[in-house]
Amino acid sequence: MPRRKLDVRRNQSVKLPNGRTVRITFINHPGAVIIAPFLNKDTVVMMRQFRPALKKYIYELPAGTLDPNERIATCARRELLEETGLLTKKLTKLGSIYPVPGYSTEIIHIFKAEELTLTQAQPEEYEVIETIPMTKQKVRKLLSQGKLMDAKSICTLAFCGWL
């Protein structure tokens, strides 16, 4: 079973900038990373991963949740290795996004990985992943066909200038 790192805060009192106080429910999230691993300037490694909540495979980039007190670059390197078997010599932070600010504190830190070496992937027991090297043309085709729907991956590819 996946490690649960989320904390649902129910019926919390929050004072708004206009002075009103409201009660909300939100997810307190430790933060996450996503990595665009480039084999070269023309090829990124995507994943086809089974997502049990959706009951289907989706295309996405490697990503994962921060462990307690873990540095974001350390998390990015760990997730890249676990999900793809790739090690990187060059990891560049491109930015950060709030994927669902209406109900979560989650922030996702976006990285680009280059100068890659392939080793053995180490997926979690609940992860079913196939890695697929893709060109910009293939990525754009998946998006236009509605087959690339993962918001964090779409944002990351946009940060990389691919979308």
Q: Which residues are catalytic?
A: 125
* Backbone dihedral region for residue 48 (phi beyond 0: left; psi -120 to 50: alpha; all else: beta): beta
Handedness of CA 156, 52, 27, 64 (dihedral sign): negative
CA dihedral 8, 56, 112, 121 (to 10 degrees): 100
Handedness of CA 98, 58, 56, 132 (dihedral sign): negative
CA dihedral 117, 120, 126, 130 (to 10 degrees): 60
Map tokens 């504190």 to a residue.
Answer: 105
**Nearest-angstrom CA–CA distance, 111 and 98:** 15
